[in-house]
Amino acid sequence: MAGGRNSTTITRFILSGFSEFPKLIVVLFSIFLGIYLMTVSWNVGLIILIRIDSHLHTPMYFFLRNLSFLDICIVSTLAPRMLSDFFKKHKFISFLGCTMQYFIFSSLGLTESCLLAAMAYDRYAAICNPLLYTTIMSPTLCLQMVVGSCIAGFFGSFIQLCALLQLHFCGPNVINHFFCDLPQLLILSCSDTFFIQVMTSVLTVIYGLASVLVILISYGNIVDTILKISSAEGRSKAFSTCASHLTAVTLFFGSGISVYMYPNSGEAMSQNKLVSVLYTVIIPMLNPLIYSLRNKEIKDALKRRKKRNFSWCC
What's the pTM value of the predicted model, to 2 decimals?
0.90
Q: What is the pLDDT of residues 24-59, one digit of tens each?
A: 899 999 999 999 999 999 999 999 999 999 889 999
Range of lowest pLDDT (182-196, 220-234, 259-273, 288-302)? 259-273
pLDDT above 70: percentage of residues in the chain: 90
Do the domain assignments include residue 1? Answer: no
What is the model's pLDDT at position 236? Answer: 78
The more confident residue out of 224 and 269 is 224
The average confidence (pLDDT) of the chain is 86
Average pLDDT over residues 60-67: 95
Max avg pLDDT among 66-70, 84-88, 223-227, 239-243: 66-70
d(CA 247, CA 95): 36
Max avg pLDDT among 124-128, 189-193, 292-296: 124-128
Q: For residue 278, is pLDDT > 80?
A: yes
What is the model's pLDDT at position 41? Answer: 96
Do the domain assignments include residue 194? Answer: yes
The more confident residue out of 9 and 124 is 124
Give the count of beta carbons closer than 10 Å to the beta carbon of residue 140: 8
Q: What is the pLDDT of residues 191-238, one digit of tens each?
A: 888 888 888 888 888 888 889 899 999 999 998 988 888 777 777 777
Do the domain assignments include residue 7? Answer: no
Q: For residue 11, is pLDDT > 60?
A: yes
Do the domain assignments include residue 270? Answer: yes
Average pLDDT over residues 293-302: 79
Do the domain assignments include residue 99? Answer: yes
What is the model's pLDDT at position 226? Answer: 87
Range of lowest pLDDT (15-19, 261-265, 305-309)? 261-265
What is the model's pLDDT at position 253? Answer: 86
What is the model's pLDDT at position 305? Answer: 77
Range of the domain at 133: 12-313
d(CA 175, CA 17): 8
Q: How far is CA 47 from CA 43, 118, 249, 262, in A?
A: 6, 18, 20, 35
Q: What's the 3-state SS for the chain?
A: CECCECCCCCCEEEECCCCCCHHHHHHHHHHHHHHHHHHHHHHHHHHHHHHHCHHHCCHHHHHHHHHHHHHHHHHHHHHHHHHHHCCCCCCEEEHHHHHHHHHHHHHHHHHHHHHHHHHHHHHHHHHHCHHHHHHHCCHHHHHHHHHHHHHHHHHHHHHHHHHHCCCCCCCCCEECCCCCCHHHHHHHCCCCCHHHHHHHHHHHHHHHHHHHHHHHHHHHHHHHHHHCCCCHHHHHHHHHHHHHHHHHHHHHHHHHHHHHCCCCCHHHHHHHHHHHHHHHHHHHHHHHHHHHHCCHHHHHHHHHHHHHHHHHHC
Q: For residue 149, is pLDDT > 90?
A: yes
Where does the pLDDT of residue 264 fall: very low under 50, low under 70, confident under 90, or very high at 90 and above?
Answer: low
What is the model's pLDDT at position 7? Answer: 53
The more confident residue out of 291 and 71 is 71
The more confident residue out of 260 and 298 is 298
Number of domains in the chain: 1
Q: What is the pLDDT of residues 80-117, one digit of tens each?
A: 999 999 988 888 999 999 999 999 999 999 999 999 99
Q: What is the CATH number of the domain that holds 29?
A: 1.20.1070.10
